[in-house]
Amino acid sequence: MAPSISSKRIRNISVSRPIIYGNIAEKVSEKNPLPASSPSDHTHTWKVFLADPLGNDLSQYIKKVVFKLHDTYVNSSRSIESPPFEVHETGWGEFEIVIKIYFQNDCGEKNITLYHHLKLHPYPTHADIQRAGGDEEAALRIAAAENVSGHVESIQYDELVFNEPTERMFKLLTQKPGSLLPYKSDKTPFTKVAEREELDRIDKAMEEINKLVEQRQIEFKKLEEERKKIVQL
Amino acid sequence: MSMASDILDVLNVNKETRNEHQQKKKKKHIIHFEESANKRKKIGAMNRELANLMGPNLAPINITHHQPNKKFKDRLTDLQTIQPSWTSTPFTNGSRSDGLQLKHWVKGKLDLLESKKPYIYEKYNTSLDIPDFTEDDYKKLLKDINPDWSYKETKYLFDMAKRYDLRWAVIIDSYEYVPDEDEITVKKEDQNKVDDKEKSKDDEKKETKTYTPRTVEDLKDQLYKVSSKLLNSKKEDGVVKDVALIKALDSFDKNKEIERKKYLNRLLHRAPTEIAEEESLVIEARKFELAAKKMLMERAQLLQLLDSPQSSAPILQFLTSSGLTQLYNTLMTVDKSKKRKTEAPVAPQLGPNAIPYTQQLAKQQAVQQQAQAHKQQQQQGGSAAAGANGHHGDKKSQKQQQHQQQKPQSEILKLLQSRLTPEEMEVYGIKFHEDKVQAGVYLRSQKIVTFKPAVQSKVVEILNELGISMRLTMPTGAVCGKFDKLMHRIASLVDLKKQTDKIEAEVTLMKRQKGML
């Protein structure tokens, strides 16, 4: 029998895996009729999910995902134990969904909690507000008008970081290269380009801040000298 | 009220002292006064005058049953009827020998009193049970106890003892035995032999001289010895109870008694210096005792130590030089197998590049481990042909290693580092940390740095001005790192602003002060 792989942790190492989570919602219409079981006052059908940005299989290292919906739903705690980790439901209101990720047993990691606000109605974006000339209500109308299809998305990119993973976990995580983000893609907004953009933005901000800091420092020094002079008087 | 003050003035009682006296007993009198104040309304005219006459401090008077409705006359007649009458009756005291008849008052009417009870105080007329003897008894038994004592004197002694209930202090005080001439003549003859010259002096004086005045011990001695013999002689009846008494009487030793009293006297009349000296001596004695005890303990311990330890196994085999080396080797292997880090002495690196000793050690170890890793790489041989097989090859070799041996963690790390190119690392999402990171899983967006609420709000404001939101769209490792730095920078900016504001305020304040001057 092969010697058992120890559950010791590999020090000084961390492995990160990207995930996306969120929801997609569609208004109920002729094209999208309400399923028979749901009450008639529901206006939207939506699904909340947890997935890999490249579509890889998450069940490698995720055992199950528990979505905790609003208490008014029957069986508000939905446990999904096999991919795809998603819940299809209907409703009329927005609320916060608690997503708990449980990892495989032999990995020796605790579960992780994420929060996601279910989005059913379109919000005016920054661009919309600018177009409406700063008026939010007008922007809302514009956004609504534009969003004729009734399709609303709210998806978040995030990364799971495993600090000092156990050897087993390490194995699981590195079986396949998972961190590869697409450089450019039409399917998802989460691409390397987007990352680059973010980095650039931060860099710019950093420069500005640095300038301000320098200015302030000069001011500070001047004031210090003044103070000293006055004290000596 | 006025009457009382008049009386007090007549008596020349000072108002101040009166007040003092009153204040001392204030508590009691306050209650009393308040009560009397409450009851004042109920007191009639005559009684009020009476109270005024007597003053504020009412003496406790008659204890009558409170009958408010009855008149005084009726209450008087009641007194006679309620309380019984007393009669003066004659009695005799049984303790007396002369039959004297006296009278005393007894509660109750004459007719009812016919019972003749003994006089109540008769029971206290007790006396001790001191044995009695006749002259014959004396001549037979008791003469030989002490030749110095005559029958008469012994009888006198016993009589005194009986009369004064064996209270020696009283007995010795009133002991005035006058010896007869017969006794003295005997002594006189003895004296003749001793000294002729003293004959010329007064006979009476001689007589008194020969008779030595008795001490308490003498009396006690004689009494106890005689009683003891008498009690012994009465054994015929089966004397059980008196055996203890006889024993007690016999245990009296005159000389010991005298000594005891001497000692007691000396003890009670010690000077304070002597007392202090005695106490210090006692303390020193105790110290010596403790020291002696300690020494004994230490001695015992030493002996224990000096005794060579007993070995459990036969040691003959190790007595030879070869055996000794064998023993040494076994011990060394045991030591090694305990897997302790070999502390080989490391020469300190001095000079311009000097680093602390511990760091040097760590460096050495790292170098050693790398050397070991290289060794193992060489051992792996062909399958580890670097890079040729690509990812999977790497993986396999890694797995092999993991399966084959349990290497220390740093080995894998070093291996990974040397194997994977930076791109591969990024692809796999592996990252190395120099410092220690806390184990566990977390979401990158959840670990964005935050500050105290006051600072945080300002930082967020500045961020918004710059066009960046708190929620990152792509929280990857690089992005988060940069964002962290940015946040810290902004925080320091805010801090700087605070300080400049402070100093500015100070400067303006001082300017104003100095300006005014």
Q: What is the separation, in whole angstroms, between the first and last Cα of chain B?
A: 78
Contact A61, A50 (CB under 8 A): no
The residue among A80, A105, A112, A99 whose CA lies nearest residue A172 is: A105
Using DSSP, state whether B443 is helix, strand or coil: strand
Structure ipTM over 0.85, yes or no: no
Domain at A14-180, CATH from 3.40.50.720, 2.60.40.1970, 3.40.50.300, 3.30.365.10: 2.60.40.1970
Instruction: Give per-residue pLDDT as tens, B340-362.
Output: 555 555 555 566 666 666 666 67
Rounded distance, CA A149 to CA A122, Å? 11
pLDDT at B115: 65
Percent of chain B with pLDDT over 70: 65
Instruction: Give per-residue pLDDT as tens, B54-85.
Output: 777 766 766 666 778 888 888 788 777 776 77
CB atoms under 10 Å from CB of A210, counted, come to: 13
Interface of A with B in 60-99 (CB under 8 A): none
Using DSSP, state whether A80 is helix, strand or coil: strand
Calculate mean pLDDT across residues A142-158. 73
Calculate mean pLDDT across residues A41-62. 83
pLDDT at B472: 80
Distance from CA of A84 to the nearest CA of B (A): 20
The domain spans of chain A are 14-180, 191-233
User: Quick check: B1 pLDDT over 60?
Assistant: no
One-character DSSP codes across B28-39? HHHHHHHHHHHH
The residue among B63, B59, B64 whose CA lies nearest residue B78 is: B64
- Which one of A160, A195, A220 has the shortest CB-CB distance to B503? A220
Calculate mean pLDDT across residues A174-182. 67
Using DSSP, state whether B343 is helix, strand or coil: coil
Range with the largest mean pLDDT of B346-350, B376-380, B438-442? B438-442
Instruction: Give per-residue pLDDT as tens, B203-218.
Output: 444 444 357 788 899 8
Contact A8, A108 (CB under 8 A): no
Residue ranges of alpha helices (H) inside B270-356 are 272-306, 321-337
Categorize the per-residue pLDDT at B159 as very low, low, confident or very high, splitting at 50, 70 and 90: very high
Percent of chain A with pLDDT over 90: 3
User: Quick check: A232 pLDDT over 50?
Assistant: yes
pLDDT at B417: 61
Q: Where are the beta strands (DSSP E) in B396-503?
A: 430-432, 440-443
**Best residue in A5, A6, A7, A16 to probe B by mutation, most B CBs within 10 Å?**
A16
Contact A194, B473 (CB under 8 A): yes
CB atoms under 10 Å from CB of A124, counted, come to: 21
Arithmetic mean of pLDDT over chain B: 75
User: Quick check: B202 pLDDT over 50?
Assistant: no
Q: Minimum mean pLDDT among B147-161, B293-307, B350-364, B410-424: which range?
A: B410-424
Rounded distance, CA A73 to CA A88, Å? 12
Rounded distance, CA B197 to CA A182, Å? 156
User: Quick check: B257 pLDDT over 90?
Assistant: yes
Rounded distance, CA A145 to CA A29, Å? 16
Give, for B393, the enclosing helix (H) or strand (E): helix B390-404
Q: Where are the beta strands (DSSP E) in chain A?
A: 13-27, 44-51, 62-68, 77-80, 85-91, 96-103, 112-117, 151-163
Calculate mean pLDDT across residues B218-246. 80
Rounded distance, CA A15 to CA B477, Å? 11
Interface of A with B in 101-130 (CB under 8 A): 103, 109-110, 112, 114
Rounded distance, CA B91 to CA B100, Å? 9
Q: Minimum mean pLDDT among A16-25, A109-118, A190-199, B77-86: which range?
A: B77-86
Do the chains contact at A230 and B432, CB–CB below 8 Å? no
pLDDT at B259: 95
User: Quick check: B402 pLDDT over 50?
Assistant: no
- List chain A residues with CB under 8 Å of B463: 205
Entry field: residues in chain A: 233
Calculate mean pLDDT across residues A73-81. 89
The residue among A227, A153, A197, A202 whose CA lies nearest residue B514 is: A227
Distance from CA of A233 to the nearest CA of B (A): 9
Q: Which is higher by pLDDT, B223 or B45?
A: B223
The residue among B180, B181, B161 whose CA lies nearest residue B170 is: B161
pLDDT at B427: 65
Sign of the CA dihedral with A19 first, then A22, A26, and A32 last: positive
User: Quick check: B411 pLDDT over 70?
Assistant: no
Contact B474, A190 (CB under 8 A): yes
Q: Which is higher by pLDDT, B491 or A29?
A: B491
- CA angle at B270 for the pair B267 and B273, rounded to the nearest 5°: 140
User: Quick check: B300 pLDDT over 60?
Assistant: yes
Rounded distance, CA B487 to CA B449, Å? 8
Give, for B86, the enclosing helix (H) or strand (E): strand B86-92
pLDDT at B363: 74
User: Quick check: B373 pLDDT over 50?
Assistant: yes
Question: What would the two tokens of residue B469 be?
Answer: 């939101």
Distance from CA of B342 to the nearest CA of A (A): 23
Beta bridge partners, A113, equal A100
Do the chains contact at A202 and B483, CB–CB below 8 Å? yes
State the residue for tokens 């000594």. B259
Kindly report whether the peptide bond that precedes residue A84 is cis, defined as omega within 30 degrees of 0: yes
pLDDT at B235: 66
Range with the largest mean pLDDT of A116-125, B34-43, B77-86, B170-179? B170-179
Calculate mean pLDDT across residues B120-130. 85
Rounded distance, CA A57 to CA A53, Å? 10
